[in-house]
Amino acid sequence: MKKDLHKDICEESVFSGLYERLANDLHKFLYYKYGDSFNPDDKTQEAFVKLWENCKKVTVEKARSFLFTVANNMMLNEIKHQKVVLKYQSQKPVGHTNESPEFLMQKEEYFKKYQEVLSRLTEEQRTAFLLSKVEGKKHTEIAEMLGVTRKVVEYRIYSAFDTLKNELEGFRIK
């Protein structure tokens, strides 16, 4: 049985000897297992930093196992992190718009004004207009639903449109 000359690897000469002996093997292991995309150079360096931070706890015999385990876990954590990043990149944030707060406020005020003008229309005008423009019904369908002629429906829609156009600045509709 060998006798250990060093209890730990905190001595600079022991640590640098381990680095020279194991760094290339660790890099190759990470590169072959995970490829170049997860930066095996950095993970190799980070594993040796962890080894230095834990030099009092790790013996020379366990250093290789410690390094390979730590580096492998770092790579797995990086892969998990990349999956999370990709997941959230594909999702659009809820409630995020590119409009300025001023524009959103103006839009809200305009919508309130629009609702107010709609409420002042006669029930017949409002019903015909909303069935046509909101629900996309054709004039003949609306006429059948309301029990009136197509010309009456057209008159109600166009008179509602005329009222909206006169009372709302910049009102246009398709």
DSSP, collapsed to helix, strand or coil, labels residue 97 as coil
Closest residue by Cα to residue 149 from 160, 140, 159? 140
pLDDT at 168: 81
Please give the C-alpha separations between residue 101 and each of 52, 96, 97, in angstroms, as whole numbers: 52, 11, 10
Domain boundaries, the chain: 12-90, 101-167
Looking at domain 101-167, its CATH architecture is Orthogonal Bundle (1.10)
Q: What pLDDT is recorded for position 3?
A: 46
Q: Which residue has the tokens 């995309």?
A: 37
Q: Which long-range contacts (CB under 8 A, 24 or more apart) does 159-166 make?
A: 159/125, 160/121, 160/125, 160/126, 160/128, 160/129, 161/129, 163/117, 163/120, 163/121, 163/125, 164/114, 164/117, 164/118, 164/129
pLDDT of residue 20: 93
The predicted structure's pLDDT at residue 138: 92
pLDDT along the chain (174 residues), means of 10: 58 90 91 84 92 89 91 91 84 71 85 87 89 88 90 92 83 65
Sign of the CA dihedral running 164, 165, 169, 174: positive
> Do 168 and 110 touch, CB atoms closer than 8 A?
yes
